[in-house]
Amino acid sequence: MPHRHHPPHFPPPLAPFDGQPPPAPDWFSQALADEPERTELRVQGTPVETLAWGRRGDPGLLLLHGNGAHADWYSFIGPLLKPGRRVVALSFSGAGGSGWRTQYSVAQWADEALAAAEATGLYEAPVLPVWAAHSFGGFALMNAAARHGDRIARAVIVDTPLRPPSAVDARRRHRVDRLRSARVYASLAEALMRFRFLPPQGCAHPYIADVIARRGLKQVVGRDGQPGWVWRFDPFLFRHFEFGRPYRDLKAATCPITLVRGARSRLITPELMAHAVAMAPPGTAVLELPDADHHVMVDQPQGFAQLLAGLAPQA
């Protein structure tokens, strides 16, 4: 019989810590202490959470998160990029501290991103802002680059799984079939200990996993009337979600594009990156972040910040 390949198993990164924050290096603690301006704006009737660091009027950088994530995945990245820049992260509708909708779309998320950039002052600088997006957020950035490319200095698309349409459609059907109500955990510690990365990978920096997990939870009252904790994303987001055609958006982009992959990423293989480059406009730049899996800001936070700093001007 042929040998069946099993993907590597990665234990939950926070299981050993029993709900307590893991030890963190000084640079990380100092970055988190640099609290952002937290604001909320309404976009097409739904509140959208924004985080901002730095001075209005300095060159802008907009940071977009991936599926199941939220703006605080950048809470330790924004402060590193703050000198000479206005840095903004938002939570798309259905994620983080933003409101939920009955229907979602990639184009709607692109509109939310533009509205957040405008509301937080990224267009008060003498130069257009750079937009950077991780993973699933890259689809919204591709849409924005096609529809609003004249408002974007450069689109930095990081480890976004641009696949042929047939593969995207199959994964979409699979997701919808598996939707279910959010699990309510009895305690914060239990929820933290269950946190995992999707797609699965190791975690050399559990202090980062702790922050993004802890800030990705909210307290609720369960069906039994007891307090509990749930993840802060809409579990039915993909029930009514319009993907559009990201590969067409990428080809139609009217701003410069940089494609980035984690050098160890299992999601964006060199073959898939070559597919994305073939779809992208001529002159698209390609970069790799060394020693990083898919979740680049977790694997190489300082290296990721340095990569972005090289693409985003500063005052």
Residue-wise pLDDT tens digits, 59-70: 999 999 999 999
- The amino acid present at 213, given as its one-letter code, is A
The model's pLDDT over 202-247, given as tens digits with 9 standing for 90+, comes to 999 999 999 999 999 999 987 778 889 999 999 999 989 999 999 8
Q: What are phi and psi of 169, to 5 degrees?
A: -65, -40
**Span 97-101, mean pLDDT?**
97
Which pair of structure tokens corresponds to residue 100? 């939920």
Q: Which two tokens stand for residue 258?
A: 């940089």
Q: What is the pLDDT of residue 226?
A: 85
At 171, list the tokens.
């994964």
- Number of helices followed by number of strands (H, E) in the chain: 11, 12
Q: Looking at residues 286-304, what average pLDDT do you find?
A: 98
Q: Which of 162, 160, 168, 210 is nearest to 188 (CA)?
A: 210
Over the stretch 296-305, which tens digit does the pLDDT of each residue have? 999 999 999 9
Query: Are 288 and 262 within 8 A, CB to CB?
Result: yes
Instruction: Tell me what pLDDT residue 1 has.
Output: 44
Residue 90: per-residue pLDDT:
98
**pLDDT of 198 above 60:** yes
pLDDT at 225: 84
> Amino acid identity, residue 20?
Q
CA 142 to centroid of chain Cα atoms: 14
Average pLDDT on 96-102 reads 97
User: What is the pLDDT, as a whole number, of residue 5?
Assistant: 52
Give 156's DSSP letter: E
3-state secondary structure of 292: coil
Mean confidence (pLDDT) of the chain = 92
Q: Quick one: 87 exposed, middle or buried, by C-beta within 10 A (0-12, 13-18, 19+)?
A: buried
Q: In the beta sheet, which residues pair with residue 88?
A: 52, 62
Residue 2 has pLDDT above 50, yes or no: no
Report the alpha-carbon distance of residue 289 to residue 215 in Å, rounded. 26
Q: What percent of the chain has pLDDT over 70?
A: 92
Q: How much is the average pLDDT of 182-210?
A: 94
Phi, psi of 108 (to 5 degrees): -65, -40
Burial of 14 (0-12, 13-18, 19+ CB in 10 A): buried
pLDDT computed for residue 221 by the predictor? 87
Instruction: Please give the structure tokens belonging to residue 192.
Output: 């933290």
**Each residue's pLDDT tens digit, 41-61:** 999 999 999 999 999 999 999
74 alpha-carbon distance from chain centroid? 8
Per the DSSP assignment, residues forming a β-bridge with 288 are: 261
Q: What is the mean pLDDT of residues 1-12?
A: 65
In angstroms, rounded to a whole number, what is the distance separating the alpha carbons of residues 304 and 291? 11
The verdict on whether omega for the bond into residue 22 sits within 30 degrees of 0, i.e. cis, is no
CATH for 40-182+236-309 is 3.40.50.1820
> At residue 179, does pLDDT exceed 90?
no
Alpha-carbon radius of gyration of the chain: 19
Continuous segment of H or E residues that includes residue 270: helix 270-279
Which is nearest to 74 in space by CA: 87, 86, 60, 92? 87
